[in-house]
Amino acid sequence: MKIRVLIVEDSRMLCRIISELMDRYTDFRYDIAATYAEAEALLRQHTYDFAITDLHLPDANDGQIVALVNRYDIAPIIFTADMDEVLRDTFESSNIIDYVLKERYDNIIYVVEKLLQLEANRHKKVLIVDDSLTYRFYLKNNLAMHQFRIFEAANGEAALRIINEHPDIELILTDYHMPIMDGLELTRRVRRKHNKKEMAIIALSSDTGSYATSRFLKEGANDYITKPFSRDEFYARIYQNIDDIEIFNQVKKHFEHDIIHVLCEVTEYKSAETGSHIRRISEYTALMAQLLGASKEEARMIGKMATLHDIGKIAISDSILGKPGKLTPEEFEIIKTHANYGKKILEEAFKSDPKKERIAIDIAYAHHEHFDGTGYPCALAGEDIPLYARVVALVDTFDALMNRRVYKEPWMMHDVLSYIQEQSGKAFDPKLVRLFLKHINRFTAILHRLSTEQAA
């Protein structure tokens, strides 16, 4: 459902500018009211996510509009022509997201950017850790106005359990003095698994001395706020740290895309005969992941990790990888070491993302294990072999047999399928074999499409 915004402003020119910006930069629906009465009528008719309101309206000149939209559980962004201590005090005590001077055009742009930020906040997780129920409620109310997804814990031990369940939490607000585990020990524990650029920690304490501040910062906190604090300061610190995480995540996303691309190129260079084999493995694996119940986004990620299944071959001599004849027993033992090399390489490449690291390593390290325990490097058997390693073992063999290699000609389709059925329960997981054969037309479609693209 689209975001719906109420704009309450009696200046037609300002409304026109806001409308133009909303149409250009968002897909939000919006309604415009010029008076308190019009706003009240619209609030009765529709449900709004956000509101932008002038503080002084023709029929309500003393800010009554704030109380009106608050009654409908909306914290507004306030437009005003002037700023004074009274307005600032109103901001501190009322449910208001922000106040903006309307005299500058860039402030109008800021309002639209703020709406987009509020929408994005709905996907950002924040953990509040404080033994005071009253203070947790205060912090939760302030964060809820800005649409964050909020989790609560009364001590550090409870916080760690929540973090284990939700490792994508972006920000932790923690008190210092708490029973069972205090904020300082919590900070130490969090930093063992999550660095400052992927999970920010802001310590909140009434300790005013520099000793407490320096201890938290040295243990890995991103910031320290002394209680009591103003909302202005609170939100400034929150967004400064959230923005740092956002920038890091964007850089990490581009980095991971680049490193996967580079590693795959290196692998293809080392094994020139494979052509588009790596891309086919990615698509086969993603399709199997979806057939096994993964979401489209998760399946795409798993497919990307599968492209790195033979990354360890960069450590193997070209003379062995490109040998046209049968490998000697000694050469085969060398080839087998690519699983260990792949594991070591990927442990360094994905340190910041444990989930991707686990899937990539599982595939690279275990895709030569056999379901009956006769594979390598660890002779794992059955479901002790990670699921997506079992998947890649199957689709990798299918693709290798269907295509020409330096040491063999392509097999006929019926021979390939007979071999896969024969190896069910031996090399391959029988459940995966049945699923693969049930949807064989979808896998052959990938094979023909990407083989055709390569030929073109």
Token readout for 253 is 């996303």
Cα 401 from Cα 202, distance rounded (Å): 55
Cα 354 from Cα 363, distance rounded (Å): 14
- The domains spanning 4-119 and 122-247 adopt the same CATH topology: yes
SS (HEC) of 123-172: CCEEEEECCCHHHHHHHHHHHHHCCCEEEEECCHHHHHHHHHHCCCCCEE
Q: Are the CB atoms for 59 and 37 separated by under 8 Å?
A: yes
Closest C-alpha to 122, from 50, 204, 172, 52: 50
Ordered by start, the domain boundaries in the chain are 4-119, 122-247, 271-455
Q: How many residues does the chain have?
A: 456
**pLDDT for position 222:** 86
Predicted TM-score (pTM) of the model is 0.55
Q: DSSP H helical segments within 292-337, as ranges?
A: 296-306, 318-321, 329-336
The Cβ-side half-sphere exposure at 374, using a 13 Å CA radius, reads: 6
One-letter amino acid of 243 = D
Block means of pLDDT (10 residues each) for the chain, length 456 residues? 90 82 89 95 96 90 89 89 62 76 70 87 92 92 92 95 91 91 91 84 80 82 84 83 61 52 53 66 95 93 89 74 80 89 75 79 95 95 96 94 81 95 96 97 92 54
**pLDDT for position 88:** 62
List strands edge to edge, sheet with 125-129.
149-153, 125-129, 171-175, 200-205, 223-226
**pLDDT for position 239:** 84
> Cα 301 to chain center, whole Å?
11
Closest C-alpha to 219, from 185, 169, 268, 253: 185
Q: Directed axis angle between helix 413-422 and helix 387-402, to 10°? A: 150
**pLDDT for position 120:** 86
CATH architecture of the domain with residue range 4-119:
3-Layer(aba) Sandwich (3.40)
One-letter amino acid of 164 = N
Neighbours of 183 (CB within 10 A): 28
**pLDDT for position 102:** 67
Helix or strand (DSSP H, E) at 245: helix 231-270
SS (HEC) of 254-304: HHHHHHHHHHHHHHHHHCHHHCCHHHHHHHHHHHHHHHCCCCHHHHHHHHH
**pLDDT for position 335:** 87
99: left (phi over 0), alpha (psi -120 to 50) or beta: beta
DSSP letters spanning 186-216:
HHHHHHTT--TTTSEEEEEES--SHHHHHHH
C-alpha pair distances (Å), 447 with each of 72, 89, 367, 384, 434: 56, 67, 20, 29, 19
**pLDDT for position 40:** 96
**pLDDT for position 398:** 95
Q: Which residues are CB-contacts of 277 (< 8 A; sequence separation ≥ 6)?
A: 268, 271, 399, 400, 403
The residue written with tokens 């040998």 in the block is 323
Q: Domain 122-247 maps to which CATH number in 3.30.70.270, 3.40.50.2300, 3.30.70.1140, 1.20.120.1200? A: 3.40.50.2300
C-alpha pair distances (Å), 410 with each of 152, 178, 406: 59, 67, 10
Q: Are the CB atoms for 256 and 350 separated by under 8 Å?
A: yes
Token readout for 195 is 């660095």
SS (HEC) of 408-443: ECCCCHHHHHHHHHHCECCCECHHHHHHHHHCHHHH
C-alpha pair distances (Å), 167 with each of 195, 207, 354: 12, 29, 9
Q: Domain 271-455 maps to which CATH number in 1.10.3210.10, 1.10.3720.10, 3.40.50.2000, 2.130.10.10? A: 1.10.3210.10
Neighbours of 438 (CB within 10 A): 10
> Cα 76 to chain center, whole Å?
29
